[in-house]
Amino acid sequence: MEIDRILELLPHRYPFLMVDGVSEVEPGKFIKGHKNVSFNEPFFQGHFPGNPIMPGVMILEAMAQLGIIFAKETDPSLREKLVVFAGIDGVRFRRPVLPGDRLDLELELIKQKRNIWKMGGKALVGGNVAVEAVLMAAIQ
């Protein structure tokens, strides 16, 4: 999935668009995508000068945005609806994400009930887990 399709599914825009590509999606099961982490990201100006590290909340945001794409690809009736964060459980930060890294994102559906979606996910750099979490999304 290329950026044009991602922009159709996500309401986010620069500087808050955190998904650059989707490599694989099996509706109702899983999705894989990525974020290319550039030194030009606005958050690197202050996090941390001289030692830039991608903020953990931005990694989680990238995972959440991929979850929105997954939900809308799984259920096309959601395409005109707002999908928002409803919760995060079991977050573990395993390694820093640095400028120049490619952040590979993977989510799989754990459960979907009415307007709540629960997904387990990982963010990886070079095949090594940087972040893992369980994310919940609500359909507005």
From start to end of 37-95, where are the E strands?
83-93
What is the arithmetic mean of pLDDT over 92-103? 98
Reported as a pLDDT band with limits 50, 70 and 90, residue 7 is very high
- Mean pLDDT, range 52-73, rounded to an integer: 98
User: What is residue 132's predicted lDDT score, i.e. its pLDDT?
Assistant: 98
Tens of pLDDT along 107-133?
Answer: 999 999 999 999 999 999 999 999 999
Local structure of 56: helix, strand or coil = helix
Span 28-49, pLDDT tens digits: 999 999 999 999 999 999 999 9
Residue 59 · residue 12 · CB < 8 Å: no
pLDDT of residue 29: 98
47 is catalytic: yes
The CATH number of the domain holding residue 135 is 3.10.129.10
Read off the pLDDT of each residue in 45-56 and give the average, rounded to a whole number: 96
Instruction: State the total domains in the chain.
Output: 1
| Residues of the domain holding 42 | 3-139
What's the pLDDT band for 24 if we cut at 50, 70, 90?
A: very high
Record the pTM: 0.96
Provide the mean pLDDT of the chain: 97
What is the number of residues in the chain?
140
Q: What percent of the chain stands above pLDDT 70? A: 100
Asked whether the beta carbons of 138 and 116 are under 8 A apart, the reply is yes
Q: How many CB atoms lie within 10 A of CB 133?
A: 21
Q: Pick the catalytic residue: 17, 27, 47, 96?
A: 47
